[in-house]
Amino acid sequence: MSEREMQNPQGLQGASAPPPDVHTPPPGASLMNALRWVLFAGLLVVAAVSVSGYFTSMHEGQGSTKSQKQARYYCPMHPTYTSDRPGECPICGMTLEPIPAGGIGGAASGHEGDVPGLTSVHLSPERVQMIGVRTALVEKQPVGARLDLVGFVTPDESQLKRIQIRAAGWVQELFVSRTGDDVTAGQPLLTLYSPELYQSEQEYLIEARSRAQRDTSTTPAHGMGHDDDGANSALMRLTLLGVPAEEIARLQRVPVAVPRITLRATVNGTVLERNVTQGQYVAADVPLFTIADLSSVWVLADLYEMDFGRVRAGDRATFVADALPDRSFPAKIEFVYPTVSSETRTLKVRLSIENPGGLLKPGMYGRVRVNGRAGSALMVPGEAVVNTGEHQYVFLARQGGQFEPRMVWTGTEDGDRVQILKGVAEGDTVVASASFLIDSESRLKAAIDGMRGPGPAGNAPAPAGHRH
């Protein structure tokens, strides 16, 4: 070994070492490779979990379908909740009910009735008993002969008198100035100044004087006849102008014409109308007073079309005025008017009632109870009919706890019963009590069915992950 080698053996060794390898990985390459393997392993795990989840969901879907087939109870308030055992709904606490044979939507698969917004509902026997449902048969029953009508008092038209004169003039004195005053026959009502009547009286007196002169002369017979015709025509004119008989008698006793005439009442009665005031000018066509004898009055009552056949002239009736609830007035149906009002669809019936002491005043209202003619009709309890103002309907009770809404048209009422004209048949069973509770459940079920939309009733749509 040379001296240099001996002096620097390490340097010699370093000088003779081979050059670095060009394929040696750079720093950090091992860490990157490890990270890639970790990511690859993670992807494999995710794929395995997804495949396992898919098959698990398939198995769960099949199990859910199997469980759904085994469900035997459901919540009426929340039909999407079902159970294979009885109990209570965890959402609302309502007692679960058995699923009908046709499924949860089976009740709606049949006839839905014809009432908008309602549908058939199913109630368990326990539920029916709990809400107190009672039923009644639709059957033909006699409609009571008694009929209650609304009537009002009016003057007897045959006892009305109008005081009127057929000549124009001015009212100088008015002795009866208030409507409602009672007057007696012969009582002065007013004095009238009338130039027309004064002239007619003058003509009458001229003819009377001419006749008196003729009686003392030797006028030929044919002339006497002519004068008699003139006197008779003047007297006829006074009569046609409405001059009272007592005024004409005065003219015959005292042959002096006066420009004033006194009008007197012709009957005993009450002044219902006064169409004149003191100092007023009145024409020949103005009725001055209307006087009614109220010792007897009429009562007019409204009879609806559905009751036309139950009332005839001659039927006995009783009138009770609202102002005199403790007093009844016996009467008979005197007349049934032949025309029907186009506005109220009623016709009038008339009663004539004796009115001693004038207790009944024109315009009074009251009740007319008629003992009419009985008939038979389909009747149901009044509670069975639900009246919303727009529709009238009942709930038909079917077998198996089914209740179906049905539109009806009603007729007359007889006590606590209602006549059914159309909608149900004899022998049908209707709900007679708790109809409003069944109505609420029917409306709720119809709303839920409407929100679920078309499709198998009672089946909620499957989640997206369960579709295949």
pLDDT of residue 360: 92
Q: What's at 40, amino acid-wise? A: F
Residue 376 neighbours by CB under 8 Å, 6+ apart: 140, 141, 142, 143
The token pair that represents 372 in the structure block: 């009419």
Sign of the Cα pseudo-torsion (267, 269, 272, 278, in order): positive
pLDDT at 24: 60
User: CA quadruple 189, 193, 197, 201: dihedral positive or negative?
Assistant: positive
Question: Quick one: pLDDT at residue 81?
Answer: 74
Please give the pLDDT value at position 466.
37
Quick one: which H or E segment has residue 347?
strand 346-354
Q: What is the CA radius of gyration of the chain?
A: 53
Q: What integer pLDDT is reported at residue 14 of this predicted model?
A: 43
Provide the β-strand partners of residue 274: 289
Per-residue pLDDT of the chain (468 residues; tens, 9 = 90+): 444 444 444 444 444 444 544 456 666 667 777 767 667 676 666 555 554 544 444 444 444 444 444 667 877 666 667 888 888 888 777 788 787 655 554 433 334 456 888 888 898 888 888 888 899 999 888 776 678 899 999 999 888 888 888 888 999 999 998 888 889 988 999 998 988 888 888 888 888 888 777 777 655 544 444 455 555 788 888 888 878 888 888 888 888 888 888 888 888 889 999 989 899 999 888 888 999 999 899 999 999 887 787 788 888 899 999 999 999 999 999 999 999 988 888 999 999 999 988 899 999 999 999 876 666 788 899 889 998 888 899 999 988 888 999 999 888 777 788 889 888 989 999 999 888 888 888 888 888 877 665 444 444 443 333 333
Position 151 scores a pLDDT of 94
User: Do residues 432 and 134 touch, judged by C-beta distance below 8 A?
Assistant: yes
Instruction: Tell me which amino acid residue 175 is.
Output: F
Which pTM does this prediction carry?
0.48
Which domains are delineated in the chain? 44-99 (no CATH), 110-142+377-465 (2.40.420.20), 146-156+293-373 (2.40.30.170), 165-289 (2.40.50.100)
What separation, in Å, do the N-terminal and C-terminal C-alpha atoms of the chain show?
Answer: 87
* Amino acid residing at 387: N
The four Cα atoms 216, 217, 221, 223 give a dihedral, to 10 degrees, of: -110
What are the backbone angles phi and psi of residue 142, rounded to the nearest 5°?
A: -70, 130
